[in-house]
A and B are shown apart, each in its own frame.
Chain A
Amino acid sequence: MELAHARSGDKGDTANVGLIALKPEYYPILVKQVTAARVARHFKGMIKGTVERYELPNLHALNFLLHGALDGGGTISLKTDAQGKVFSTALLRLEVEVAR
């Protein structure tokens, strides 16, 4: 069952992923389950830095900053996804438990 959609972008060597609840009632689930620590574990080995999380309850969204995600980012990066545009769907691969 899908709970969220997302879009990602870059700020230097940091990828930001906006995670948006597909329905407002899913937002509390995301807040509880998709913590910065959990996202850090999800991306372990893929990012070199830490993960920060910000909440936007007005938009039913969370914003994650994934530091050291882009091999230097911008023009420095050798990655296909030098600007972090598909970190969004990489995060959407995360599965969480939903209480009935």
Chain B
Amino acid sequence: MRARGPRRVRIAGGQGFWGDWLEAPYRQVNGGPVDYLMMDYLAEVTMSILQKQKARDPLLGYAKDFIPLMERILPILVDRHIKVTANAGGVNPRACAQAVAEVARRLGLGGKVRIGVVSGDDLLTHLDGLLAHGHALKNLDTGRPLSDVRDRVLSANAYLGARPVVEALRGGADIVITGRVTDTGLTLAPLIHAFGWSADDWDLLAAGTVAGHTIECGAQCSGGNCLVDWERIPDLANVGYPIVEAAPDGTFEITKHPGTGGRISVAGVTEQLVYEMGNPAEYITPDGIADFTTIRLEQTGKDRVRVSGVRGRPATDQLKVSVAYFYGYKAVGTLVYAWPDAYKKAQAADRILRQRLADLGLTFEAVVTEFVGADATHGRLARASAPLDELPEVQLRVGVRSPDKAPVERFTREIAPLILNGPPSVTGFAGGRPKPEEIVAYWPALLDKHIVEPCVELVDV
């Protein structure tokens, strides 16, 4: 009798961001064999929105969309033994778990689901203590201390890594709900759990991190936003979201369910690997540092790319912290000008608008004008070769930003009048007056690891 080694593990990317395709996770669990489904719900400033919700109602503060999704796929997950890792918990992972448990009971799945809850990332109530103890939480981009904006902080979360998610999986969790955890950690954790990788298997952890980075943006590695030969990428309407098929030695393949659209190619996977990348030799995560200059890619079949050779280095002793704070206000107004002389008319309207704002004595931190259809994407580089005299239409787009609401509010009232008292052939104002928007900005910092205590709880339905 031949001993069977650990088989390959298949991790499906179900969601690249909160707002991604609602169909994707459903199709991932229905479209073929899958062991894990990972989903990302937290953009940089999502936590501040969730903190506001929790402040109004202590039972909120998590990504509410997760619940209807669970309603839809829990029976399939249970039936097919598919586990889930998702940072849908936001700033209230326990409440999210309770809501999921309620759904599970309603679906008659009592006794069949164990939910893992990972928390300990939320630093908001500890912030003053940390600052008092000399943890300055300096902004990684500007070097300024957090005390500069302390009274405007709305949320503060440490990025936990894979470890607490692994602990939850080891505890038998079927659905792991976390607060702020690195996106890569949500893919790496199932790999550590399945293959028993150690905390200092740096090359293996780096490989799992690369796997996570590849699928964390959903279809962006399986044909979405893919520049090479984009017109011939088949059937993007039914794009297959990516699946990592990993082996215990850290090598893995990126693939997708048969019968789905899109394309998995070395070129497309490469585009995703360099996406949102700093120094590629030092991709730092709580679980280790991955060296993206060691990655080897190979097309091993139609829509199948093998990834190997990944090397890594020991983790640092710090965690990244994402703080969100109130910055000020902004508003953007737009109007469309039509041929002839669309560009000139839009420019004239911009001059008139700026003159009126100046005459009102209004000052702003920034006033940014773009001419969509001419230079909004490539600026000077586009203007040089665009047929500016012949454009059929140009959208004038003007944005303002200020620490104060009043000037921004006044600006929003200066757009509509241009329809009747500005340059001619203007349209595209049916949306109504723009609204001043609160700016919640992102403050990245570092904190010593030993200060943060991840917490793992298990909830049986």
Instruction: State A21–B225 Cα separation when bound (angstroms).
Output: 17
Q: Hey, which chain A residues are within 8 Å of B370, CB to CB?
A: 79-80
* A5 and B141 in contact, given A56-B293, A76-B441 (Cβ under 8 angstroms): no
Contact check, A59 vs B275: say whether CB atoms are below 8 A apart: no
Interface string of A20-47 (1 = CB under 8 A from B): 1010000000000000000000100110
Q: Tell me the interface secondary structure of chain B in the complex.
A: mixed
* A22 and B381 in contact, given A16-B278, A56-B293, A80-B370 (Cβ under 8 angstroms): no
What is the CB-to-nearest-CB distance from B409 to chain A, in angstroms, rounded to a whole number? 16
Interface string of B358-380 (1 = CB under 8 A from A): 00000000101010100011111
Contact check, A61 vs B274: say whether CB atoms are below 8 A apart: yes
Instruction: State A76–B270 Cα separation when bound (angstroms).
Output: 29
B344 CB-CB contact with A under 8 Å = no
Among A6, A11, A57, A76, point to the contact of B278 (Cβ < 8 A).
A11
Interface string of B311-345 (1 = CB under 8 A from A): 00000000000000001001010000000000000
**Total interface residues on A, using CB and 8 Å?**
41
Among A18, A20, A54, point to the contact of B279 (Cβ < 8 A).
A54
Among B271, B278, B401, point to the contact of A78 (Cβ < 8 A).
B401
The chain B residue with its CB closest to the CB of A10 is: B276
What is the CB-to-nearest-CB distance from A70 to chain B, in angstroms, rounded to a whole number? 11
A65 CB-CB contact with B under 8 Å = yes
The chain B residue with its CB closest to the CB of A46 is: B379
The chain A residue with its CB closest to the CB of B275 is: A9
Interface string of B270-308 (1 = CB under 8 A from A): 111111111111000000000011111100000000000
A96 CB-CB contact with B under 8 Å = no
Contact check, B380 vs A45: say whether CB atoms are below 8 A apart: yes
Instruction: State A18–B269 Cα separation when bound (angstroms).
Output: 12
B442 CB-CB contact with A under 8 Å = yes
Interface string of A56-100 (1 = CB under 8 A from B): 111111010100000110111011110001101110010000000
Q: Hey, which chain B residues are within 8 Å of A16, CB to CB?
A: 274-278
Q: Hey, which chain A residues are within 8 Å of B273, CB to CB?
A: 18, 59, 61
* A7 and B275 in contact, given A78-B332, A88-B227 (Cβ under 8 angstroms): yes
Q: Hey, which chain B residues are within 8 Å of A56, CB to CB?
A: 274, 280, 292-293
B440 CB-CB contact with A under 8 Å = yes
Instruction: State A1–B101 Cα separation when bound (angstroms).
Output: 58
Instruction: State A18–B221 Cα separation when bound (angstroms).
Output: 14
What is the CB-to-nearest-CB distance from B316 to chain A, in angstroms, rounded to a whole number? 18
B78 CB-CB contact with A under 8 Å = no
What is the CB-to-nearest-CB distance from A87 to chain B, in angstroms, rounded to a whole number? 9
Q: Hey, which chain A residues are within 8 Å of B366, CB to CB?
A: 71-72, 78
Contact check, B378 vs A90: say whether CB atoms are below 8 A apart: yes
Contact check, A58 vs B295: say whether CB atoms are below 8 A apart: yes
Contact check, A22 vs B442: say whether CB atoms are below 8 A apart: no
The chain A residue with its CB closest to the CB of B141 is: A12
Instruction: State A72–B45 Cα separation when bound (angstroms).
Output: 14
The chain A residue with its CB closest to the CB of B140 is: A12
A-B contact pairs, 30 of them (CB 8 A): A5-B227, A6-B227, A7-B227, A8-B275, A9-B275, A9-B277, A16-B274, A16-B275, A16-B276, A20-B271, A20-B274, A22-B267, A45-B379, A46-B379, A46-B380, A46-B381, A58-B294, A59-B273, A61-B270, A61-B273, A63-B274, A63-B280, A75-B45, A75-B439, A78-B366, A78-B400, A79-B368, A80-B397, A86-B378, A89-B378
Residues of A within 8 A of B (CB): 5-13, 16, 18, 20, 22, 42, 45-46, 54-61, 63, 65, 71-72, 74-76, 78-81, 85-86, 88-90, 93
Residues of B within 8 A of A (CB): 44-45, 141, 225, 227-228, 267, 270-281, 292-297, 309, 327, 330, 332, 366, 368, 370, 372, 376-381, 397, 399-401, 439-442, 444
Q: Which 8 pairs between the two chains have the least Cβ-Cβ distance?
A: A18-B274, A78-B399, A9-B276, A78-B368, A7-B271, A80-B376, A90-B378, A5-B227
